[in-house]
Chains A and B, each alone.
Chain A
Amino acid sequence: MAGLPEHLLRRSAEARAKAEGRDVEEVLAELKGEAPPAPKEPAAGPEPAPAPAAPAAGPGRDLDAESAATGVPVPLLQRAMEGRARREGKPVPAMAGAPASAPAATAPAAAPAAAAAPAAAPAIPDGVTTQRLLTVVKAGAIQQVKSSPQDKVSVWPHLLAIEFVALMVVTAGLIIFSVFVDAPLLEFANFNEQPNPSKAPWYFLGLQELLSYFDPQVAGVIIPTFGMIGLAIIPYVDKNPSVRPSDRKLAIMVFSFFVFASAVLTIYGSFFRGPGFNFSFPWVDGIFFDF
Protein backbone atom coordinates (compact mmCIF):
# COMPACT_ATOMS: atom_id res chain seq x y z
CA MET A 1 0.00 0.00 0.00
CA ALA A 2 2.32 2.66 -1.22
CA GLY A 3 1.74 6.19 -0.07
CA LEU A 4 -0.59 5.52 2.84
CA PRO A 5 0.59 6.88 6.16
CA GLU A 6 1.04 4.36 8.88
CA HIS A 7 -1.36 6.01 11.33
CA LEU A 8 -4.20 6.02 8.83
CA LEU A 9 -3.69 2.36 8.13
CA ARG A 10 -3.67 1.64 11.80
CA ARG A 11 -6.82 3.55 12.43
CA SER A 12 -8.51 1.73 9.65
CA ALA A 13 -7.28 -1.60 10.96
CA GLU A 14 -8.46 -0.83 14.47
CA ALA A 15 -11.90 0.01 13.23
CA ARG A 16 -12.17 -3.13 11.21
CA ALA A 17 -10.78 -5.28 13.97
CA LYS A 18 -13.36 -3.92 16.34
CA ALA A 19 -16.14 -4.53 13.88
CA GLU A 20 -15.10 -8.06 13.10
CA GLY A 21 -13.85 -9.01 16.53
CA ARG A 22 -10.36 -9.77 15.31
CA ASP A 23 -6.89 -8.86 16.41
CA VAL A 24 -5.70 -5.43 15.40
CA GLU A 25 -2.19 -6.54 14.38
CA GLU A 26 -3.61 -9.24 12.20
CA VAL A 27 -5.88 -6.88 10.31
CA LEU A 28 -3.13 -4.35 10.02
CA ALA A 29 -0.79 -6.89 8.54
CA GLU A 30 -3.50 -7.92 6.16
CA LEU A 31 -4.03 -4.35 5.08
CA LYS A 32 -0.35 -3.90 4.55
CA GLY A 33 -0.19 -7.07 2.58
CA GLU A 34 2.20 -8.67 5.02
CA ALA A 35 2.03 -11.96 6.79
CA PRO A 36 0.17 -11.80 10.08
CA PRO A 37 2.36 -11.84 13.17
CA ALA A 38 3.82 -15.15 14.02
CA PRO A 39 1.74 -16.03 17.08
CA LYS A 40 -1.42 -15.72 15.11
CA GLU A 41 -0.27 -18.06 12.44
CA PRO A 42 -2.02 -21.12 13.72
CA ALA A 43 -5.22 -19.20 14.13
CA ALA A 44 -5.04 -18.17 10.53
CA GLY A 45 -4.54 -21.73 9.53
CA PRO A 46 -7.98 -22.45 8.14
CA GLU A 47 -7.76 -19.68 5.67
CA PRO A 48 -5.04 -20.11 3.15
CA ALA A 49 -4.66 -16.54 2.13
CA PRO A 50 -2.38 -14.82 4.64
CA ALA A 51 -0.16 -17.87 5.09
CA PRO A 52 3.34 -17.19 3.96
CA ALA A 53 3.48 -20.58 2.32
CA ALA A 54 4.62 -20.68 -1.26
CA PRO A 55 1.34 -22.04 -2.66
CA ALA A 56 -0.40 -18.90 -1.48
CA ALA A 57 1.55 -16.88 -3.96
CA GLY A 58 0.87 -19.40 -6.63
CA PRO A 59 -0.97 -18.61 -9.76
CA GLY A 60 -4.03 -20.53 -8.78
CA ARG A 61 -4.98 -18.39 -5.84
CA ASP A 62 -8.68 -17.69 -5.64
CA LEU A 63 -9.05 -14.13 -4.46
CA ASP A 64 -12.82 -14.12 -4.57
CA ALA A 65 -13.08 -16.97 -2.17
CA GLU A 66 -10.49 -15.43 0.09
CA SER A 67 -12.32 -12.18 0.09
CA ALA A 68 -15.54 -13.87 1.00
CA ALA A 69 -13.84 -15.72 3.84
CA THR A 70 -11.92 -12.78 5.35
CA GLY A 71 -14.06 -9.83 4.46
CA VAL A 72 -11.10 -8.09 2.86
CA PRO A 73 -11.97 -6.60 -0.53
CA VAL A 74 -10.46 -8.28 -3.54
CA PRO A 75 -8.43 -5.29 -4.72
CA LEU A 76 -6.73 -5.04 -1.37
CA LEU A 77 -5.85 -8.69 -1.39
CA GLN A 78 -4.54 -8.36 -4.86
CA ARG A 79 -2.42 -5.37 -4.03
CA ALA A 80 -1.10 -7.14 -0.95
CA MET A 81 -0.11 -10.07 -3.08
CA GLU A 82 1.66 -7.87 -5.57
CA GLY A 83 3.52 -6.05 -2.85
CA ARG A 84 4.68 -9.24 -1.28
CA ALA A 85 5.81 -10.58 -4.59
CA ARG A 86 7.83 -7.48 -5.24
CA ARG A 87 9.51 -7.63 -1.89
CA GLU A 88 10.39 -11.23 -2.29
CA GLY A 89 11.61 -10.72 -5.80
CA LYS A 90 9.16 -13.16 -7.27
CA PRO A 91 7.03 -12.58 -10.29
CA VAL A 92 3.61 -11.28 -9.45
CA PRO A 93 1.17 -14.11 -9.86
CA ALA A 94 -1.16 -13.76 -12.75
CA MET A 95 -4.80 -13.69 -11.94
CA ALA A 96 -7.97 -13.99 -13.80
CA GLY A 97 -9.10 -10.63 -15.07
CA ALA A 98 -6.01 -8.76 -13.81
CA PRO A 99 -3.55 -7.55 -16.44
CA ALA A 100 -0.15 -9.09 -15.99
CA SER A 101 2.27 -6.83 -14.24
CA ALA A 102 4.78 -9.58 -13.73
CA PRO A 103 7.36 -8.65 -16.34
CA ALA A 104 7.60 -5.14 -15.06
CA ALA A 105 7.87 -6.17 -11.47
CA THR A 106 10.69 -8.63 -11.89
CA ALA A 107 13.29 -6.27 -13.26
CA PRO A 108 13.53 -3.73 -10.41
CA ALA A 109 13.25 -6.41 -7.81
CA ALA A 110 16.41 -5.30 -6.10
CA ALA A 111 15.23 -1.70 -5.87
CA PRO A 112 13.33 -0.45 -2.83
CA ALA A 113 9.61 -0.92 -2.81
CA ALA A 114 8.99 2.73 -3.38
CA ALA A 115 10.95 2.64 -6.58
CA ALA A 116 9.17 -0.47 -7.66
CA ALA A 117 5.75 1.02 -7.29
CA PRO A 118 5.88 3.20 -10.42
CA ALA A 119 7.06 0.21 -12.35
CA ALA A 120 3.81 -1.53 -11.64
CA ALA A 121 1.84 1.51 -12.72
CA PRO A 122 1.56 0.61 -16.40
CA ALA A 123 -0.91 -2.04 -15.34
CA ILE A 124 -3.51 0.76 -15.19
CA PRO A 125 -4.71 1.77 -18.63
CA ASP A 126 -3.99 5.30 -19.66
CA GLY A 127 -6.65 7.83 -18.86
CA VAL A 128 -8.12 5.79 -16.04
CA THR A 129 -8.12 7.43 -12.68
CA THR A 130 -7.78 5.13 -9.78
CA GLN A 131 -8.82 5.91 -6.26
CA ARG A 132 -6.50 4.93 -3.52
CA LEU A 133 -8.27 5.29 -0.26
CA LEU A 134 -11.52 6.40 1.14
CA THR A 135 -11.20 7.44 4.71
CA VAL A 136 -12.86 9.59 7.25
CA VAL A 137 -10.83 12.61 8.23
CA LYS A 138 -11.75 14.43 11.39
CA ALA A 139 -12.97 17.96 10.81
CA GLY A 140 -10.21 19.45 12.89
CA ALA A 141 -7.63 18.14 10.50
CA ILE A 142 -8.92 20.00 7.45
CA GLN A 143 -10.42 23.14 8.96
CA GLN A 144 -7.32 24.59 10.51
CA VAL A 145 -7.62 27.97 8.86
CA LYS A 146 -5.34 30.38 10.62
CA SER A 147 -5.93 34.02 9.91
CA SER A 148 -2.64 35.71 9.40
CA PRO A 149 -2.06 38.10 12.28
CA GLN A 150 -2.57 41.77 11.43
CA ASP A 151 -1.22 44.78 13.18
CA LYS A 152 -4.39 46.29 14.60
CA VAL A 153 -5.24 48.80 17.25
CA SER A 154 -8.42 49.45 19.19
CA VAL A 155 -10.69 52.07 17.71
CA TRP A 156 -11.31 53.24 21.24
CA PRO A 157 -9.30 55.14 22.28
CA HIS A 158 -6.83 55.46 19.39
CA LEU A 159 -9.05 56.33 16.43
CA LEU A 160 -11.91 58.01 18.29
CA ALA A 161 -9.51 60.34 20.05
CA ILE A 162 -8.03 61.47 16.75
CA GLU A 163 -11.46 61.94 15.23
CA PHE A 164 -12.65 63.90 18.20
CA VAL A 165 -9.68 66.22 18.03
CA ALA A 166 -10.17 66.64 14.27
CA LEU A 167 -13.83 67.61 14.80
CA MET A 168 -12.90 70.07 17.49
CA VAL A 169 -10.19 71.66 15.37
CA VAL A 170 -12.44 72.03 12.34
CA THR A 171 -15.33 73.36 14.41
CA ALA A 172 -13.10 75.85 16.16
CA GLY A 173 -11.52 76.97 12.89
CA LEU A 174 -14.91 77.36 11.27
CA ILE A 175 -16.32 79.35 14.19
CA ILE A 176 -13.31 81.65 14.31
CA PHE A 177 -13.48 82.19 10.57
CA SER A 178 -17.23 82.85 10.78
CA VAL A 179 -16.77 85.39 13.52
CA PHE A 180 -14.45 87.46 11.38
CA VAL A 181 -15.72 86.87 7.85
CA ASP A 182 -19.37 87.42 7.04
CA ALA A 183 -21.19 85.53 4.33
CA PRO A 184 -21.84 87.83 1.38
CA LEU A 185 -25.22 89.45 0.92
CA LEU A 186 -25.57 91.78 -2.05
CA GLU A 187 -28.55 93.89 -3.04
CA PHE A 188 -32.03 92.48 -3.36
CA ALA A 189 -32.47 90.20 -6.38
CA ASN A 190 -33.28 92.29 -9.44
CA PHE A 191 -34.27 90.59 -12.67
CA ASN A 192 -33.68 93.74 -14.69
CA GLU A 193 -30.13 94.36 -13.65
CA GLN A 194 -27.60 91.67 -14.41
CA PRO A 195 -24.27 92.23 -12.67
CA ASN A 196 -21.21 92.28 -14.87
CA PRO A 197 -19.64 89.79 -14.77
CA SER A 198 -22.19 87.19 -13.62
CA LYS A 199 -20.46 84.18 -12.22
CA ALA A 200 -21.72 80.75 -11.20
CA PRO A 201 -20.81 79.30 -7.77
CA TRP A 202 -17.08 78.66 -7.58
CA TYR A 203 -17.27 74.89 -8.12
CA PHE A 204 -18.94 75.54 -11.48
CA LEU A 205 -16.52 78.26 -12.56
CA GLY A 206 -14.26 75.76 -14.30
CA LEU A 207 -17.21 74.85 -16.48
CA GLN A 208 -18.14 78.48 -17.02
CA GLU A 209 -14.55 79.07 -18.07
CA LEU A 210 -14.90 76.26 -20.60
CA LEU A 211 -17.94 78.08 -22.00
CA SER A 212 -15.53 80.71 -23.27
CA TYR A 213 -13.84 78.13 -25.47
CA PHE A 214 -16.52 75.65 -26.45
CA ASP A 215 -20.07 75.47 -27.58
CA PRO A 216 -22.47 75.48 -24.60
CA GLN A 217 -23.54 71.94 -25.42
CA VAL A 218 -19.95 70.78 -25.09
CA ALA A 219 -18.88 72.84 -22.09
CA GLY A 220 -22.17 72.83 -20.20
CA VAL A 221 -23.42 69.34 -20.85
CA ILE A 222 -21.09 66.91 -22.54
CA ILE A 223 -17.95 67.63 -20.52
CA PRO A 224 -19.58 67.55 -17.06
CA THR A 225 -21.71 64.53 -17.92
CA PHE A 226 -18.84 62.56 -19.33
CA GLY A 227 -16.63 63.79 -16.52
CA MET A 228 -18.93 62.36 -13.88
CA ILE A 229 -19.50 59.13 -15.79
CA GLY A 230 -15.76 58.87 -16.36
CA LEU A 231 -15.13 59.26 -12.64
CA ALA A 232 -17.73 56.68 -11.76
CA ILE A 233 -16.34 53.98 -14.06
CA ILE A 234 -12.72 54.36 -12.97
CA PRO A 235 -12.77 51.13 -10.91
CA TYR A 236 -14.13 49.18 -13.85
CA VAL A 237 -11.64 50.57 -16.34
CA ASP A 238 -8.53 50.46 -14.18
CA LYS A 239 -7.90 46.72 -13.98
CA ASN A 240 -4.48 47.07 -12.41
CA PRO A 241 -4.75 45.29 -9.04
CA SER A 242 -1.76 47.01 -7.45
CA VAL A 243 -2.19 49.98 -5.13
CA ARG A 244 1.46 50.93 -5.07
CA PRO A 245 2.03 54.33 -6.69
CA SER A 246 5.02 53.02 -8.61
CA ASP A 247 2.79 50.47 -10.35
CA ARG A 248 0.09 53.01 -11.22
CA LYS A 249 1.97 55.76 -12.93
CA LEU A 250 -0.43 56.08 -15.86
CA ALA A 251 -3.58 56.13 -13.69
CA ILE A 252 -2.09 58.70 -11.34
CA MET A 253 -0.89 60.83 -14.22
CA VAL A 254 -4.27 60.85 -15.98
CA PHE A 255 -6.21 61.58 -12.80
CA SER A 256 -3.77 64.25 -11.69
CA PHE A 257 -4.01 65.88 -15.10
CA PHE A 258 -7.77 66.27 -14.79
CA VAL A 259 -7.59 67.46 -11.19
CA PHE A 260 -4.92 69.97 -12.12
CA ALA A 261 -6.80 71.11 -15.21
CA SER A 262 -10.04 71.66 -13.32
CA ALA A 263 -8.18 73.49 -10.56
CA VAL A 264 -6.50 75.78 -13.09
CA LEU A 265 -9.77 76.44 -14.92
CA THR A 266 -11.60 77.13 -11.66
CA ILE A 267 -8.94 79.53 -10.40
CA TYR A 268 -8.75 81.18 -13.80
CA GLY A 269 -12.51 81.59 -14.02
CA SER A 270 -12.71 82.83 -10.44
CA PHE A 271 -9.95 85.41 -10.31
CA PHE A 272 -8.83 86.21 -13.84
CA ARG A 273 -12.18 87.00 -15.42
CA GLY A 274 -13.48 90.54 -15.17
CA PRO A 275 -16.36 92.48 -16.73
CA GLY A 276 -17.77 90.76 -19.79
CA PHE A 277 -16.00 87.65 -18.54
CA ASN A 278 -12.89 89.04 -20.21
CA PHE A 279 -9.41 88.35 -18.96
CA SER A 280 -8.23 90.61 -16.18
CA PHE A 281 -5.49 90.58 -13.61
CA PRO A 282 -6.98 90.53 -10.11
CA TRP A 283 -4.20 92.84 -8.84
CA VAL A 284 -4.94 95.41 -11.56
CA ASP A 285 -8.71 95.45 -12.01
CA GLY A 286 -9.75 93.94 -8.69
CA ILE A 287 -11.36 90.62 -7.83
CA PHE A 288 -14.71 89.84 -9.42
CA PHE A 289 -15.57 86.93 -7.25
CA ASP A 290 -17.93 86.20 -4.39
CA PHE A 291 -18.12 83.05 -2.31
Chain B
Amino acid sequence: MANGNGKVGLKERVSQAADHVRTSQVWSSIFRPGSPFRAGYTDSPRNRSYVIMNNVLYHLHPVKVKRHAVRLSYTLCLGGLSFFLFILLTITGIFLMFYYRPTSPQAYLDIQALATDVAFGQLVRNLHRWGAHLMVLTVFLHMARVFYHGAYKPPREFNWVVGIVLLVLTLLLSFTGYLLPWDQLALWAVTVGSNMGAYAPVIGDQVSFALIGGVQITPDTLLRWYVLHVLFLPFIIVIFMAVHFWRVRKDGGISGPL
Protein backbone atom coordinates (compact mmCIF):
# COMPACT_ATOMS: atom_id res chain seq x y z
CA MET B 1 0.00 0.00 0.00
CA ALA B 2 1.30 3.39 -0.89
CA ASN B 3 0.26 6.57 0.80
CA GLY B 4 -0.41 9.86 -0.89
CA ASN B 5 3.29 10.51 -1.58
CA GLY B 6 3.65 7.30 -3.50
CA LYS B 7 5.98 5.98 -0.82
CA VAL B 8 5.53 2.97 1.40
CA GLY B 9 4.39 4.18 4.82
CA LEU B 10 6.12 3.34 8.04
CA LYS B 11 3.13 1.43 9.32
CA GLU B 12 3.08 -0.82 6.28
CA ARG B 13 6.79 -1.41 6.50
CA VAL B 14 6.55 -2.48 10.09
CA SER B 15 3.66 -4.77 9.38
CA GLN B 16 5.50 -6.28 6.42
CA ALA B 17 8.58 -6.84 8.52
CA ALA B 18 6.45 -8.44 11.22
CA ASP B 19 4.85 -10.75 8.71
CA HIS B 20 8.26 -11.66 7.38
CA VAL B 21 9.47 -12.58 10.86
CA ARG B 22 6.33 -14.47 11.78
CA THR B 23 6.47 -16.63 8.68
CA SER B 24 10.18 -17.37 9.02
CA GLN B 25 11.44 -20.84 9.78
CA VAL B 26 12.96 -19.77 13.08
CA TRP B 27 9.73 -18.24 14.34
CA SER B 28 7.50 -21.13 13.35
CA SER B 29 9.95 -23.60 14.85
CA ILE B 30 9.69 -21.85 18.22
CA PHE B 31 5.94 -21.34 18.30
CA ARG B 32 4.19 -24.61 17.72
CA PRO B 33 0.88 -24.89 15.85
CA GLY B 34 -1.91 -23.25 17.80
CA SER B 35 0.30 -20.65 19.40
CA PRO B 36 -1.28 -17.21 19.33
CA PHE B 37 2.11 -15.85 18.27
CA ARG B 38 2.19 -17.98 15.15
CA ALA B 39 1.29 -16.53 11.79
CA GLY B 40 -2.31 -17.10 10.80
CA TYR B 41 -3.60 -17.76 14.31
CA THR B 42 -7.35 -17.67 14.50
CA ASP B 43 -9.45 -18.01 17.60
CA SER B 44 -11.11 -21.37 17.06
CA PRO B 45 -11.95 -24.20 19.47
CA ARG B 46 -9.29 -26.28 17.77
CA ASN B 47 -6.59 -23.65 18.25
CA ARG B 48 -7.67 -23.03 21.84
CA SER B 49 -6.91 -26.68 22.49
CA TYR B 50 -3.61 -26.52 20.63
CA VAL B 51 -2.46 -23.51 22.66
CA ILE B 52 -2.32 -25.77 25.71
CA MET B 53 -1.53 -29.11 24.12
CA ASN B 54 1.45 -27.77 22.20
CA ASN B 55 2.78 -25.81 25.13
CA VAL B 56 4.90 -26.63 28.13
CA LEU B 57 1.93 -25.48 30.20
CA TYR B 58 0.30 -28.79 29.31
CA HIS B 59 2.28 -30.11 32.29
CA LEU B 60 0.20 -27.86 34.54
CA HIS B 61 -3.13 -27.41 32.81
CA PRO B 62 -5.50 -29.62 30.87
CA VAL B 63 -7.08 -28.28 27.70
CA LYS B 64 -10.34 -27.66 29.47
CA VAL B 65 -11.37 -27.19 33.06
CA LYS B 66 -14.71 -27.25 34.77
CA ARG B 67 -16.40 -23.91 34.55
CA HIS B 68 -16.54 -23.38 38.31
CA ALA B 69 -12.77 -23.87 38.53
CA VAL B 70 -11.96 -20.67 36.68
CA ARG B 71 -13.96 -18.59 39.08
CA LEU B 72 -11.51 -16.51 41.05
CA SER B 73 -13.52 -17.01 44.22
CA TYR B 74 -13.04 -20.79 44.10
CA THR B 75 -9.25 -21.09 44.36
CA LEU B 76 -8.25 -17.45 44.86
CA CYS B 77 -5.26 -18.51 42.77
CA LEU B 78 -3.50 -19.45 46.00
CA GLY B 79 -1.73 -22.58 44.75
CA GLY B 80 -0.67 -20.90 41.54
CA LEU B 81 0.52 -17.84 43.42
CA SER B 82 2.59 -19.99 45.78
CA PHE B 83 4.30 -21.52 42.76
CA PHE B 84 4.73 -18.13 41.16
CA LEU B 85 6.24 -16.72 44.35
CA PHE B 86 8.65 -19.65 44.41
CA ILE B 87 9.78 -18.70 40.91
CA LEU B 88 10.04 -15.04 41.90
CA LEU B 89 12.10 -16.02 44.94
CA THR B 90 14.36 -18.16 42.78
CA ILE B 91 15.00 -15.29 40.39
CA THR B 92 15.61 -12.69 43.09
CA GLY B 93 17.59 -15.24 45.10
CA ILE B 94 19.95 -15.91 42.20
CA PHE B 95 20.44 -12.17 41.88
CA LEU B 96 21.30 -11.91 45.57
CA MET B 97 23.76 -14.82 45.33
CA PHE B 98 25.96 -12.72 43.07
CA TYR B 99 26.58 -10.30 45.91
CA TYR B 100 26.59 -12.49 48.98
CA ARG B 101 29.33 -14.46 50.75
CA PRO B 102 28.20 -16.77 53.54
CA THR B 103 31.04 -15.95 55.92
CA SER B 104 31.25 -13.76 58.97
CA PRO B 105 31.45 -10.79 58.85
CA GLN B 106 31.27 -10.61 55.03
CA ALA B 107 27.65 -11.75 54.97
CA TYR B 108 26.49 -8.76 56.95
CA LEU B 109 28.66 -6.35 54.99
CA ASP B 110 27.38 -7.76 51.70
CA ILE B 111 23.78 -7.21 52.79
CA GLN B 112 24.68 -3.66 53.73
CA ALA B 113 26.37 -3.18 50.37
CA LEU B 114 23.19 -4.25 48.60
CA ALA B 115 21.59 -1.05 49.82
CA THR B 116 24.47 1.20 48.87
CA ASP B 117 26.62 -0.33 46.12
CA VAL B 118 24.35 -2.51 44.02
CA ALA B 119 21.89 -1.17 41.49
CA PHE B 120 18.41 -2.20 42.63
CA GLY B 121 20.09 -4.30 45.32
CA GLN B 122 17.86 -3.11 48.13
CA LEU B 123 14.75 -3.48 46.00
CA VAL B 124 15.60 -7.06 45.05
CA ARG B 125 16.40 -7.90 48.64
CA ASN B 126 13.06 -6.43 49.72
CA LEU B 127 11.26 -8.41 47.04
CA HIS B 128 13.00 -11.55 48.22
CA ARG B 129 12.10 -11.03 51.86
CA TRP B 130 8.51 -9.88 51.42
CA GLY B 131 7.93 -12.47 48.76
CA ALA B 132 9.16 -15.15 51.14
CA HIS B 133 6.81 -14.07 53.90
CA LEU B 134 3.98 -13.86 51.40
CA MET B 135 4.75 -17.36 50.17
CA VAL B 136 4.48 -18.80 53.67
CA LEU B 137 1.12 -17.08 53.89
CA THR B 138 -0.19 -18.23 50.50
CA VAL B 139 0.92 -21.81 51.08
CA PHE B 140 -0.90 -21.83 54.40
CA LEU B 141 -4.01 -20.21 52.93
CA HIS B 142 -3.91 -22.63 50.02
CA MET B 143 -3.97 -25.48 52.52
CA ALA B 144 -6.92 -23.94 54.32
CA ARG B 145 -8.75 -23.38 51.03
CA VAL B 146 -8.22 -27.01 50.04
CA PHE B 147 -9.47 -28.15 53.41
CA TYR B 148 -12.66 -26.09 53.32
CA HIS B 149 -13.46 -27.40 49.85
CA GLY B 150 -12.94 -30.96 51.02
CA ALA B 151 -10.51 -31.29 48.13
CA TYR B 152 -8.29 -33.69 50.09
CA LYS B 153 -10.91 -36.44 49.84
CA PRO B 154 -10.41 -39.48 47.62
CA PRO B 155 -8.76 -39.70 45.20
CA ARG B 156 -6.69 -36.73 46.37
CA GLU B 157 -5.60 -38.00 49.80
CA PHE B 158 -1.96 -38.49 48.90
CA ASN B 159 -1.66 -35.14 47.20
CA TRP B 160 -2.77 -33.53 50.45
CA VAL B 161 0.11 -35.29 52.20
CA VAL B 162 2.50 -34.05 49.53
CA GLY B 163 1.08 -30.60 50.16
CA ILE B 164 1.86 -30.86 53.87
CA VAL B 165 5.43 -31.80 52.99
CA LEU B 166 5.57 -28.73 50.77
CA LEU B 167 4.32 -26.59 53.66
CA VAL B 168 7.07 -27.92 55.93
CA LEU B 169 9.68 -27.38 53.21
CA THR B 170 8.43 -23.83 52.69
CA LEU B 171 8.82 -23.12 56.39
CA LEU B 172 12.32 -24.63 56.38
CA LEU B 173 13.31 -22.57 53.35
CA SER B 174 12.10 -19.44 55.04
CA PHE B 175 13.78 -20.33 58.30
CA THR B 176 17.16 -21.13 56.75
CA GLY B 177 17.02 -17.89 54.81
CA TYR B 178 16.27 -15.99 57.99
CA LEU B 179 19.82 -16.45 59.28
CA LEU B 180 21.64 -15.28 56.19
CA PRO B 181 21.66 -11.48 56.78
CA TRP B 182 23.74 -12.29 59.88
CA ASP B 183 22.41 -9.43 61.95
CA GLN B 184 21.04 -9.46 65.49
CA LEU B 185 17.52 -10.23 64.27
CA ALA B 186 18.71 -13.22 62.23
CA LEU B 187 21.06 -14.61 64.85
CA TRP B 188 18.68 -14.56 67.77
CA ALA B 189 15.51 -15.51 65.91
CA VAL B 190 17.28 -18.57 64.61
CA THR B 191 18.74 -19.26 68.04
CA VAL B 192 15.30 -19.22 69.60
CA GLY B 193 13.82 -21.26 66.74
CA SER B 194 16.45 -23.95 66.68
CA ASN B 195 16.55 -24.19 70.48
CA MET B 196 12.96 -25.39 70.30
CA GLY B 197 13.97 -28.25 67.99
CA ALA B 198 16.78 -29.26 70.31
CA TYR B 199 14.23 -30.43 72.88
CA ALA B 200 13.21 -33.34 70.65
CA PRO B 201 13.59 -36.55 72.67
CA VAL B 202 16.46 -38.91 71.87
CA ILE B 203 17.52 -37.35 68.55
CA GLY B 204 17.12 -33.70 69.51
CA ASP B 205 20.77 -32.99 70.30
CA GLN B 206 22.06 -34.86 67.27
CA VAL B 207 19.63 -33.17 64.87
CA SER B 208 20.44 -29.81 66.33
CA PHE B 209 24.17 -30.49 66.11
CA ALA B 210 23.91 -31.55 62.47
CA LEU B 211 21.71 -28.62 61.50
CA ILE B 212 23.67 -25.80 63.07
CA GLY B 213 27.03 -27.53 62.72
CA GLY B 214 27.93 -27.44 66.40
CA VAL B 215 26.48 -26.95 69.84
CA GLN B 216 25.60 -23.36 69.14
CA ILE B 217 25.24 -21.10 66.14
CA THR B 218 28.62 -20.08 64.73
CA PRO B 219 29.77 -18.72 61.40
CA ASP B 220 29.93 -22.36 60.29
CA THR B 221 26.18 -22.48 60.69
CA LEU B 222 25.96 -19.66 58.19
CA LEU B 223 27.64 -21.68 55.45
CA ARG B 224 25.61 -24.73 56.30
CA TRP B 225 22.29 -22.95 56.17
CA TYR B 226 23.30 -21.10 53.04
CA VAL B 227 23.83 -24.38 51.22
CA LEU B 228 20.56 -25.74 52.60
CA HIS B 229 18.78 -22.56 51.57
CA VAL B 230 20.07 -22.11 48.04
CA LEU B 231 20.66 -25.70 46.97
CA PHE B 232 19.41 -28.55 49.08
CA LEU B 233 15.92 -27.41 50.07
CA PRO B 234 15.05 -25.92 46.66
CA PHE B 235 16.13 -29.19 45.08
CA ILE B 236 13.85 -31.18 47.39
CA ILE B 237 10.91 -28.82 47.09
CA VAL B 238 11.05 -28.83 43.30
CA ILE B 239 10.76 -32.61 43.32
CA PHE B 240 7.76 -32.48 45.61
CA MET B 241 6.19 -29.70 43.59
CA ALA B 242 6.54 -31.77 40.44
CA VAL B 243 4.75 -34.65 42.14
CA HIS B 244 2.14 -32.28 43.56
CA PHE B 245 1.27 -30.73 40.20
CA TRP B 246 1.34 -34.06 38.44
CA ARG B 247 -1.05 -35.53 40.98
CA VAL B 248 -3.41 -32.59 40.61
CA ARG B 249 -3.79 -33.56 36.95
CA LYS B 250 -3.89 -37.30 37.56
CA ASP B 251 -6.35 -37.14 40.43
CA GLY B 252 -8.97 -35.54 38.22
CA GLY B 253 -7.96 -31.92 38.05
CA ILE B 254 -9.33 -29.31 40.30
CA SER B 255 -11.89 -30.58 42.78
CA GLY B 256 -15.56 -30.47 41.97
CA PRO B 257 -18.07 -27.81 42.92
CA LEU B 258 -19.42 -27.93 46.44
Contact = CB atoms under 8 A, between A and B. Distances in A.
A235 B148 contact: no
A244 to B, nearest CB: 6
Contact of B188 (A155, A175, A198): A198
Contact of A185 (B112, B171, B196, B200): B112
A155 B199 contact: no
Interface stretch (A19-27, A76-84, A109-117, A217-225): A217-225
A208 B65 contact: no
A240 B153 CA distance: 8
A154 B196 contact: no
B84 to A, nearest CB: 5
A142 interface: no
Interface string B46-82: 0011011000010001111111111010000100110
B127 A208 contact: no
Contacts of A159: 61, 65, 69-70
| Size category, B interface | 35 or more
B149 interface: yes
Contacts of A202: 133
A71 interface: no
B160 A174 contact: no
B185 A232 contact: no
A178 B127 contact: yes
A171 B88 contact: yes
A248 interface: yes
Task: With a 10 A CB-CB cut-off, give which of B125, B136, B150 has the most chain A CB atoms.
Answer: B150
A141 interface: no
Interface stretch (B11-19, B21-29, B173-181, B232-240): B173-181
B64 A153 contact: yes
B85 to A, nearest CB: 8
Contacts of B143: 231
A252 B69 CA distance: 22
Contact of B183 (A170, A174, A178, A186): A186
B258 A244 contact: yes
Contacts of B72: 162, 166
A155 B64 contact: yes
A221 B197 contact: yes
Interface in B117-146: 122-123, 125-131, 133-134, 136, 143-144
Interface of A: 150-160, 162-163, 166-167, 170-171, 174-175, 177-179, 181-191, 193-195, 198-204, 207-208, 211, 216-217, 219-221, 224-225, 228, 231-232, 234-236, 238, 240-245, 248, 252, 255, 259, 290-291
27 contacts: A151-B67, A153-B64, A154-B45, A159-B65, A159-B69, A160-B57, A167-B80, A167-B81, A170-B134, A174-B88, A174-B134, A183-B130, A186-B183, A189-B104, A189-B108, A189-B183, A191-B216, A195-B188, A199-B189, A199-B192, A203-B171, A208-B192, A208-B196, A217-B201, A220-B200, A221-B204, A232-B164
